[in-house]
Amino acid sequence: MSRARAFVVFVSVVLICSLLGAWLAQRYFGGEQLSRNAFACLLALFFHPLVSLILTKLPALWDAVVVRAVGAGAEKP
């Protein structure tokens, strides 16, 4: 993984997990700071591999979507 990709993954995970952790803590625990940090940490354990996988597979996924949309490789009757 390149430095730029690692940076994007890290920043994305931090922002996503901070927002979701704060929302969950506010909704279920009255915004308590310990629960907010715990939720953010637990969510980061889940989201870091997921975001990394998505960013790694994104170019191949994009190519597949474009090829399907354009119809390249489709057989003509």
Q: pLDDT for 19-58, tens place per residue?
A: 888 998 899 888 888 988 888 888 888 888 887 888 788 8
Is 31 contained in some domain?
Answer: yes
Is 77 contained in some domain?
Answer: no
Contact criterion met (CB below 8 Å) for 32 and 1: no
The range of the structural domain enclosing residue 41 comes to 3-70
Is 13 contained in some domain?
Answer: yes
* Residue 6: predicted pLDDT: 83
Is 58 contained in some domain?
Answer: yes
Is 75 contained in some domain?
Answer: no
Sequence-distant (6+) residues with CB within 8 A of 43 are: 16, 17, 20, 21
Taking the model in full, what pTM does it have?
0.61
Four-CA torsion 23, 56, 2, 21, nearest 10 degrees: 10
Is 66 contained in some domain?
Answer: yes
Is 23 contained in some domain?
Answer: yes
Tally of domains in the chain? 1
